[in-house]
Amino acid sequence: DSYQALLGLHTMDVFEKTALIKQRVTKIQLQTFKGTIGLIYADVARLLGITDRLIYACDNKIGKFSNLVSDRIFAIADIYSLGYSLMPREIFHDWITSPPSRRYNGQSTSTSLTPMPAGNKVLSLLEKIKDRKGLLEAETGKPADPKTKNIP
């Protein structure tokens, strides 16, 4: 299933990801990704820094996006993959679509995914959550409760 495939993406090494990016992402793969993360094309286009017209113009059957767009798709998918691995899907979706915050200069978390340097800030925050979760598990000797709302 596409959720399980997305869940494992962040564990792939850079060479595996690069090989997949060079194959270029198809429109059908983007449609599957879009459905998995629950966004519409306009939101996906905004995250990728492209127009939704570019997405619609891509042929459904054989159309592939450029290496640059494919790289951006993988960068966003990597953030979602890590987020899904750290918290339940619903909680991650609530967090990623949370209201504007001072942390992101008055923008929502998902708006902060683009341009990519800001996306790196979101990825960095997810890494901090992962580290805190690991520390909590080490201190208590039991798994952290994934339903906790103590997310930065």
pLDDT given at position 33: 92
pLDDT values of the chain reduced to their tens digit, one per residue, 152 residues? 688 888 889 889 989 999 999 999 999 999 999 999 888 888 889 888 888 898 888 877 678 999 999 999 998 899 899 889 888 988 888 888 777 666 556 666 665 565 555 556 677 778 777 777 765 565 566 665 655 545 44
Are 61 and 128 spatial neighbours (Cβ–Cβ below 8 Å)? no
Per-residue model confidence as pLDDT tens digits over 30-60: 999 999 988 888 888 988 888 889 888 887 7
| Sign of the torsion angle spanned by Cα atoms 85, 10, 67, 25 | negative
Are 17 and 74 spatial neighbours (Cβ–Cβ below 8 Å)? yes
